[in-house]
Structure 1
Amino acid sequence: MSEQNPLDLPEGDPFGPHNLPYGVFSPAGSATDPAPGSAPGSAAADGRRVGVRLGSYVLDAGAAGAALGSPYVSLLAQPTLGPLLAAGRRTWSDVRRALTAWVTVPAHRDVVRPLLHPLSDVTLHLPFEVADYVDFYASEHHASNLGRMFRPDAPTPLTPNWKHLPIGYHGRSGTVVVSGTDVVRPTGQRKAPADTAPVFGPSTKLDIEAEVGFVVGAPSTLGTPVPLTDFREHVFGLCLLNDWSARDLQAWEYVPLGPFLGKSFATSVSAWITPLEALDAARVAPPARTEALLPYLDDSAESVADEPGGYDLRITVSLNGHVISEPPFSTVYWTAAQQLTHMTVNGASLRTGDLYGSGTVSGPSPDQFGSLIELTWNGRDPLELPDGKRTFLEDGDVVTMTAWAPGPGGSRVGLGEVTGRIAATRG
C-alpha cells in the first residue's frame, strides 16, 4: 500500500487549507544540526523556524517560500513570528493567500510534500516574543458568578463600572509559556477570613481560567488611541490561553491594586496562532448591550456595523482527560476590539507581540463555567470525576483546552490546544 500524501487530508479535517495557523517548530535532530552561522543557545541554534499547520503535519514555511521563489521568504525564514507580525494586515493577507496556494495547487505538490513534517516528530515553541501582556474580565457570566460568591449582599453581582468599560490588569509577559510546559505550584502569602494572621506556603487553591488570547502584530504610535475600526489593522490572530490563578494568594493580595503574585507565575498559550482571516465565518454579534456606551466603545455605530466583534468559538476544558466544561466564547460581553480600544484610549502604544486575554470565558449554565472556582463554587461543591473529587488542582493534574469555530461551507476551524501539568512547588 502506498504512503498517504499529507496534502490529501481526510474530509472535515479542522486544520485544512481553510485554517493554516502559524507556529514555530524545530524538526527532529535540529539540536545537532543548527542553522548556519547561528549563535550557540540562540533560537536559530536549535533549528527553530516558522511553520504552518496542515492536518497532522507542519509545513516549513520558510523552506517552502524559498523553493517556490516567494517574495515573503524573508518573513517566513525566521526563528519567530515577529517579523511577519510586524509586517501589517496587507502582508498578512498576501502571505496567507500564497500559503493556501502552496498547499492546494497541484503544480506545487512535489515541491511542498518533502517540506511537511509530522507533528509527532517536531518540537513546538512559543511562537512569538511576548511584549506586553494584559488580561481582561470580559465575561458577564463569570463576573456575575464571582460577584454572587464574594459579595452576596450586594444589590447586583457586578461592580458599578463593569457595564461601562472592559476591566483588566497588566500581567507578566516573561512568564507566558507554550502549551506543554509544566506549571509549578506557586508559593506565597494567604489568609483565610477566619485566620488572625497570614501564613506562607504553596497555594492550596490553584485554578484554571479558560480564555482566548489576541496577538498584536502592527504597532501603534504612543499618544494615539486605536479606534474600534482599526482592530483588524493591528490584531494578527488569536489562540487559546489558560490564565492559571492561585485563588488564595489572589484573595489576600488583590486589595487595593488587583492581581499580582496570584496570577504572574504562569500563563499558558497554544503553540498555534490562528489568523483572524481564518475565522471570518465565525464572526457574530456580541451580546445585547444593557447600558449606553461612551462613543469610543460604542460598537453599534454604522462605521463598525460590518465588523461584528464577537467570535463563535466552542471551547472544551478537560481535567486528566475528563471533560469538565464547555464555555462558549460567543457569550463574552466585551469584544476584542473594545478591549484593544480601551487599552489604548489613554495613549498607551501597541508593540508587536503584545498579547491580551479575554478573561475567563463562562456561559450561563454550570457546565459552561470556565474556572474551578465557579465549577465548585469556591470549593463548596467538589467535582465528581472518575479519578476522584476535585475542588482545586492537585500536583500531577493535567488541564487541556481545545476549541473549534464554524468555518466556510460548514467546515470547522480548529484552534491549537493548550495543555499544562501541575508540578510540585520547588524549594
Structure 2
Amino acid sequence: MKVFKFGGASTKDAAGVRNVAAVLKSCQEPDLLVVISAMGKMTNALEVVVRDHFDDKTDSEAAMASVYEYHFSILDQLFENRSHPIFKEIATMFDDMKRFLRTTKSKNHSFVYDQVVSYGELLSSTIVSIFLRENDISNTWLDVRDCIVTDSEYRDAKVDWDTTHTNIAATVSQKGITITQGFLGAEHKNSFTTTLGREGSDYTAAIFAYCLDADSVTIWKDVPGVLNADPRYFTETQLLEHISYREAIELAFYGASVIHPKTLQPLQRKEIPLYVRSFENPTATGTCVGKGVTLRPKIPCYILKKNQVLLSLSSLDFSFMMEDNIGDVFKWLHQYRMKVELIQNSAISFSVCVDNRFDRLEQLLTKLRSTFAVKWNEGVTLYTVRHASPTEIKTLMKGKEVLLKQESRETVQLIVKE
C-alpha cells in the first residue's frame, strides 16, 4: 500500500480536482490511502470566520458566505446540476458549522478555531471522494478523526501513537483507495476535533504510512520537488534529487516549507521513502527522501522565515545569565506558545528568535519585563543556510543589516533587518 497527499494548491479549483483524478488514473496504484487538504486558501478563509466570530458576528456571516460561494462554485463546475446529492451534503456541512458558531459559548479561541477550520478538510475530501466515484475511481471516504487520537492542545495537538495505531489497523483497508483528511485528529477525552498545526497534512500522511507499513509516501505539489531555496524569494533555484532522512530533518527543522517538520521522523523509523512530485508533471521523478547520500546534488540550501521576533534579554542587576534565568525564559516561551527558531547567549545576555504564531507577544513581553531588561525587534527575517561557502554567505549578507549571526560546521543562521 502507498500513501498520497494532495495539498490545497492541487484542489484549489475544479480543474485541480479533475487533475487529481487524472494523476490517480495515470499512476494506476490499486491500493492507496489519499490525504486531502483544504481547497486553495480555505484554511486562511476559515481563520477569518473564526476571527470575525469573536470580533463581529455580522462580519463572520459575510466571511462564511464567501467560503460557501467558493465551494459551490467548484461544485457547479464538477457536477451537472444541483439535483446531485453532493450539493445537499455540502450544504448540510455548512449548516452544521453555522450552528456550532451560533450555539457555542466557548471563549477558548483555539478550541473554536479547530472546530471551524477543520471543515476545510472535511469539505474538500468529500467533494474529491464523490467526484472520483463519478469518474470511475472507486473509493471509500474515511473520517480521519475516527483514527488519529490526540491530546487537547488545540491548534497544535500531539498524537497518541498507541491508540492511533490500533485505530488505523482496525479501520483502514489495505486494499482499494481510501480518501481522508489531513491536518485533523480528535482529542481522547470528548472526541472534539483537534488540528496538528499548520501544514499538518504531510504529517497525517506520515502517520498513516507508519501505522500501515506503507511502501512509500508521495506528496504532490505545484513545484518539481524539493528545491534548494524558495523560488518566491530566490532566483536560479535547483532541484534536489535525493536527500537523506537526516538532512531532510535538518532542513525541515530550520523551516524548509516543502516538508512539514514532524513528517520525517516516523518515516525514518521504518525507512519508508518520501517522494515530493509535481501534480502538474506527474511523470517526472521529483525528489526522493530516504536512505543513501546526504544530498544530491551537493549545493547550498537556503531557508527564509519572515516576520520573526528577535528578543534580547539581560538581567536588571547586571548579574550573569545563568541556568535558572534561562529556565524561566523557556518556561514563559512555552506558556505563551512561541516557536523558538534560534538561541544565543553570553555571560550577561540571552537572545532568542521566535515565531509569534499565536499573536501573544505583548503578554510575553509583559512577563519578561518583570525580570529582565528587554529589547526586541519585530518583523525581522531569519536566513538559514546549509552547506554554503564563506563567499556565498558574504553575497547573501550584502546590503542587509545583520542583527545576529550564528555559525556551525554545516549551518549559518542570520537574523537581518531588510
State the TM bucket, normalised to the shorter chain: under 0.3
The structure in which a higher percent of residues are helix is 2
* TM-score when normalising by structure 2: 0.23
* TM-score when normalising by structure 1: 0.23
Q: Which has the higher contact order (CA 8 A, sep 6+)?
A: 1
